Structure 1
Amino acid sequence: MRLELLHPRNRIALIMELIYKNGMTTTSGGNISILDEEGNIWITPAGYDKGILTAKDIVCVRENGRVEGMHRPSSEFPFHAAIYRKRPDVKAVIHAHPPALVSFSIVRKVPDTNIIPQTKKFCGHVGYAPYQLPGSDELGESIANTFSTGSNAVIMENHGTVVGGSNLFEAFQRFECLEFSARSIINSQKLGGYKTLTDEQIISFENQDVNLPEADETVYHTDEKEIRHEICTYVKRACEQNLMISSHGSVSMRWRDNDFLITPTSLNRRFIGHSDIVQIKGGTREKGKYPSKAVKLHQAIYEQNPDIKCIINTQPPATMAFGISHSVFQTRTIPESYILLKDIPFIEFGDHLNGNETIPKLISKDTPIAIIKNDSIVVTGGNMLETFDRLEVAEFSAQSLIESTLLGDLVAIGQEEIDDLVEKFLK
């Protein structure tokens, strides 16, 4: 889907639907705008139900100030206009009150984006705008002044958050990524706090060697097309279930021998199509396409483990609370968790970069999952269904472990019970 070719009305309606359905705004809260090539601002209407918003409800405020549409423009129009004046490179703005970011807003703090490399890349330094009356020119100036310092995401004191981007889809990725980060940090506080990466570690991630030679030609076989469809289906499902966000996460499936298909780098995961999936054959990448930065990690896992047919690495917020706190992920809690996950080891950040063989040699039938500190969870399986099920169980288990900290001390299943599980289900 060429999203940039959609009319501004359609783009705004599409993104507002995603924000609302993913619980990041309320019926009355939040607003979105786009500045078009002619200087017109397209914006969501005032006082309209975000759950039923359609393209025809979007309002246009012309460069000369004339309003066109069935409704009044959002009462927060002044700060959208102020941001565009102060930051000519910003062409889209999203404002809403997602719960985790509001938590930061009301304690007057900003999320630390150094928790994982992708968060730093997409969100950068998060600004802070002092409180002003909603809808006022003063609020517009407060936010715009913060944007003028170079921030693309701003926490609004006792209000919510606002993000900008060169287009609406970039702004949405930034918005979603920031809420994910805030949620992961809040969860980690229940586990004792979080650890951050140094700028040097983040640079090492960005500079890792992920180049594969380009294939001279690519042949698309019927079984290969089926794999593309399965990957796209489960990536969409992962996003819908908040197991993956639009800017993070990789999925691959073995095709023939050590050849496989994998999601691309840089594209919005929510809108990946069959033609975006990248074929890796004989150590070469499909002509004209660039695979996920995790491609060499996936390649090494397949080469070391012939029984593994699928790999997902992603950053769901409860699991990543363990990833950024480095707290033990205790799977010996209920039978399903241990049967599907086994004991989950931690991998030091950096041991997954540039062909390091730590993870490929660690992963096995008895260790199907590993958590890379401050990066992701790596989940493997004999097929997509088994792998995805493990991912879901990991995230559900992580959430239960986090919430149990408020109730009392965890009591794990004893070794005798574990031995019984192994005897019945794992031999």
Structure 2
Amino acid sequence: MSTLAAQRQLVADACRVLAARGLADGYLGHVSLRVEDDLLLVRCRGPQERGLRWTTAEDVQLVTLDGEPGAEGELGEWTVPNELPLHTEVLRTRPDVAAVVHAHPPAVVAADLAGLAVRPVVGAFDMPGTKLAAAGVPVYPRGVLVRDRRLAGEMVAAMGDRPVVLLRGHGLTSTGRSVEEAVLHALSVDRLARLELAVVSAGGTLVDLPAEDLAELPDLGSGFNHATAWRHELANLP
């Protein structure tokens, strides 16, 4: 399999993982991967659109940062996402980012609307997620369709240098140095949001992990946090 073909399949698998995990179980959401300075692969909408759960490599198209076909014969009957600027503005301004995920996790939206910030309320239950939350998960406070560079610039400004930003009344944008990392960040944020909602619904009070416990959490490395976790997600796909 060529490098580009493998990358298309990776983006397609990422879309299916998001759907299987309930972060994008309809037909909204997309994943992108930078392949050159001005080219990205992105999940597009095809002529027989069925939703992210049934994404194939054929749905992943090569485009420029301006949304034009990235190669002769590319796009065809496929159309780029309306929110392509959400991806491209991140890639333009964040050289540390290789992949962008946009999804609509109901628990994340509900927790944010309920005034619950993503917080490090657990410990070894989800160590990467706890560390991500401890460093802060910002919120873009506008419930808009991020359809142009102006709105995308606002979102990127709200994100700052963090890997994930919540979009109020909308969903989240997650980034990573790889597709796998971007998806796993999104899964951690969704997991924490679900737990917070469950605790509050049970009448409990959210309490952050003590600093001394946070300092004790080891970094098990990308081989475990990313590679093993990703194999697990793929194995769970229907």
How far residue 63 of structure 1 moved from its aligned partner, in angstroms, is 5.1
Q: Which has the higher contact order (CA 8 A, sep 6+)?
A: 2
Within 5 Å, which residues of 2 pair with 1:122-271? 122-123=132-133, 124-131=135-142, 133-134=144-145, 135-147=147-159, 149-191=160-202, 192-206=204-218, 265-266=224-225, 267-271=227-231
Q: Which amino acid is 2:142 matched to?
A: Y
Q: What does 1:101-112 correspond to in 2, within 5 Å?
A: 101-107=108-114, 109-112=116-119
**Residue equivalent to 1:98:** 105
- SS of match in other structure, 1:101: helix
Q: How many residues align?
A: 214
Partner of 1:54: 56
Return 5+ residue gaps in structure 2 as ranges: 233-238
1:79 is displaced (CA, Å) by 1.2
Aligned to 1:69: 75
1:120 aligns with 2:130: yes
Task: Please give the secondary structure, in 2, of the residue aligned with 1:51.
Answer: helix
- Give the partner amino acid of 1:90: V
Structure-1-length-normalised TM-score: 0.46
Larger Rg: 1
Note the alpha carbon deviations across 1:261-303, whole angstroms, 9 max, x for none: xxx733333416xxxxxxxxxxxxxxxxxxxxxxxxxxxxxxx
Stretches of 4+ aligned residues off by more than 2 angstroms: 4-8, 46-49, 62-66, 104-110, 113-117, 120-124, 136-139, 264-270
Q: Is the 8 A contact 1:122 1:173 kept in 2?
A: no
CA contact (8 A) 1:40 1:61 kept: yes
Secondary structure, counterpart of 2:52 in structure 1: coil
Cα RMSD of the aligned pairs, angstroms, is 2.5
Structure 1 residues 161, 204: closer, same or farther in 2, change over 3 A?
A: same
- Once residues 30 and 63 of structure 1 are traced to their aligned partners in structure 2, the CA distance between those partners, rounded to angstroms, is 18
- Counterparts of 1:385-424 in structure 2, within 5 Å, are none
Match of 1:287 in 2: none
- Name the structure 1 match of 2:39: 40
The separation in 1 between residues aligned to 2:99 and 2:18, in whole angstroms, is 15
Q: Secondary structure at the match of 1:115?
A: coil
Code of the residue aligned with 1:115 in structure 2: it is: V
Seen in structure 2, the aligned counterparts of structure 1 residues 156 and 16 have a Cα distance that, compared at 3 Å, is: same
Higher mean Cα deviation, 38-47 or 52-61?
38-47
Distance 2:98 2:22 in 1: 24
Q: Distance in 1 between matches of 2:45 and 2:154?
A: 21
